[in-house]
Amino acid sequence: MKQFTTPRLSLKAFKQEDILEAVEALNTNEARKYLGGIREDIAASEAYHEMLDKSGIWSIRLIDSDVFIGIVSLTDYHEAHYTELSYVFSDKHWGKGYAYEAVVPIIEYAKEQLRLDVIVAQTQSANYPSIRLLEKLNFHKKHELMRFDNMQSVYELHLNDYIAYLRARVGNAAVNLTGVNVLITNHKHQILLQKRGEYPLKWGLIGGIVELGETLEAACLREAYEETGLTLTDQPTLIGTTSGKDCYMHLPNGHKAYFITAGFHINYNGEPLSVDGKETKELVFFDFDNLPVELVKSHRNMIDVYLSKCIELH
């Protein structure tokens, strides 16, 4: 089974020689507070012996001292078509970032080696430290259920979601993200803007993040379809880019990003516009001299780039 090394941790297949240390480190009131409580050492030892017959279970040790501090696993969820991420750590080593450090390479392994699309994680709804970890890893809450006599929260991570995968690896740290703005104009030389249903809750251009491996042009056509319902077939024309400090965002969920955005122009083809009510609340064509005050700043900058291009061409 694949082994992993991080700056502070070593992750290796859980083996017979790990059992005594696992019982000592993990069979405590704190470590098992949300796992059904402390068990008799014999029962705990038997449970760990059963793990020896399963794949996808790693012991976690400190590199500098070889001290056993926990277990992380990727195993079948009780809903068999899912794979579940689980973890438990010695309470003596809480609060040092070891859980995040151990789980990140397992998520990468699930995506790159196992080719999984989704992994789930289940934790007691009262286990706030575990929930904070999952949310930092960009898991999203799917539902709650009653299991093991307690309310459980089920989270999932879509590994083919580029942003989710990226955030699972770097957390909330500031990153550069590549995006597109689609400037759609009609025969009256008006520009189409959307009233956004997601942060920032302002008017803005059609657009979004470029997916991994996607071309800028393909991203334009995809975003236009997702946010307006338009099936544009004309090739979009590159008009310019925006980047730098004016394109920084600190989102309510803690994520930080600098957006490097390519702006493309395309003519409106007359199709009916479709509002999904989630990402997009309204779609309106505006005159360039009567744009809404509540307009995303970087989008205002992109419109200025477009207008300057129009002046150059005429």
What are the catalytic residues?
282
β-strand pairing of 83-89 with 118-124 = parallel
